[in-house]
Amino acid sequence: MPALTISDLTKRYETETAVEDLSLEIETGEVYGFLGPNGAGKSTTINILMDYVRPTTGDIQILGYDPHDDLVDVHQRVGILPDRFSVYGRLTGRQHLEYIIDSKGAADTPEKLLARVGLEGAIDQQAGEYSRGMQQRLALAMALVGSPELLILDEPFTGLDPHGARAIRDLVNEENERGVTIFFSSHVLGQVEMICDRIGILHDGHLISEGRIDELRSDAGVEATVSFVVSDLSKRLVDAVDSLDSVTGTTTADNRIDVQVRDDTARIDVLATIESAGGTVETFSVREPSVEEIFTAYTGDR
């Protein structure tokens, strides 16, 4: 059974359409990254999943439940790290977690939850004195209460330093190993690449592409760059490489030639061509297109 199914979801406000005809399915145990620029409709979608906002049309099933009609069942099984939240400044981290633990009837302890996000030292400090990153960690600990079956993380890397981002990634991996399905939105694309099984790209309220990162990379037609350090780098050698069908461009610097190739297998052709042109490859490296480049390829000209 899919953990999350969204069918033909549309949300219109008076003057704009935030999400239009969105359909997607996330399997149980999957880590799904929901990408898009600010204003693409990611948070609106998550707000609808959590029943903060009502859809104009469309159907949603979360763990087999309707998020509005079966709200109590859904919220009992889902952990949410919302975007643009505010903590209760007068309450301590412990009191925040006690509230969530009581609400869900969970057997967790604030100490263990805060230790998981590295906030155990600030457990009795008022949350109003927390930095933004600490508040983000507190909210993540709140999302983990009750061992949810589905974790929804809306822009989880916002306000985090590299250590905080690493902590989030580690937690996502831990929870995913426990069998938890994870759906998160982000525009911090470098982080997405490290933890997602699949990603969906949302732009102007439409899902414009979806799949595994390697599939999207291939579909987007974004080139990888292979860099060769060659002794005896000659113009004849460069011309020979340039003439290959699988090569879209070259640049040279000193004894290095950077070759833009259409796919990974092209590097073998390039290697053979260099050697047949009299060059000797000392080292080479491949740089795959980043998620950011894929994302730009999908959204840049829209």
Partner 1 sequence: MRWYPLARKEFSDLSRSKGLRLFGLVLIISSYFSIGGPAYVADALGPNQIIAAFQTPVTLFAGFAAILVSYRSVIGECESGSIKFVSGMPQRRYEILTGKIVGRTAALCVPLLVTFVFVSLLGVIQHGIFSLSQFVLFSLLSILYVFTIICVGTAISAVANTSLQAATASFGYYILFILGWIDLLSYQVFSAITGTPVNPLEPPASELLFSIHRATPIGAYNVLTNSVLDVGNSASWVTGVIADQLPNITSNALVVGLVFDGSQSAILATPLALGILALWISVPLLVSGYVFQRADLA
Given the rule CB under 8 A, which residues bind partner 1? 43, 47, 50-54, 71-73, 75-76, 78, 80, 82, 84-88, 90-91, 95, 99-100, 102-104, 139, 142
Q: How far is the CB of 194 from partner 1 (least distance, A)?
A: 26
Q: Is there a contact between 260 and 225 (Cβ–Cβ < 8 Å)?
A: yes
CB neighbours of residue 289 within 10 Å: 20
**Cα R_g (the chain), whole angstroms:** 24
Q: In this structure, what token pair is assigned to residue 83?
A: 């975007």
Q: How far is the CB of 53 from partner 1 (least distance, A)?
A: 4
Nearer to partner 1, 125 or 218 (CB): 125
Q: Is there a contact between 151 and 181 (Cβ–Cβ < 8 Å)?
A: yes
Q: How far is the CB of 247 from partner 1 (least distance, A)?
A: 49
Nearer to partner 1, 102 or 161 (CB): 102
Q: Which of 223, 160, 207, 212 shows the shortest CA–CA distance to 22?
A: 207
Nearer to partner 1, 105 or 162 (CB): 105
Q: How far is the CB of 102 from partner 1 (least distance, A)?
A: 4
Nearer to partner 1, 139 or 172 (CB): 139
Q: How far is the CB of 152 from partner 1 (least distance, A)?
A: 9
Nearer to partner 1, 95 or 290 (CB): 95
Q: Is there a contact between 5 and 25 (Cβ–Cβ < 8 Å)?
A: yes
Nearer to partner 1, 134 or 238 (CB): 134
**How far apart (Å, rounded) are the C-alpha atoms in residues 49 and 66?**
9
According to DSSP, the β-strands at 198-203 and 224-231 are unpaired
Q: How far is the CB of 151 from partner 1 (least distance, A)?
A: 12
**How far apart (Å, rounded) are the C-alpha atoms in residues 32 and 42?**
13
Q: Compute φ and ψ for 62, nearest 5 degrees.
A: -115, 115
C-alpha triplet 37, 42, 45: angle, nearest 5°: 160
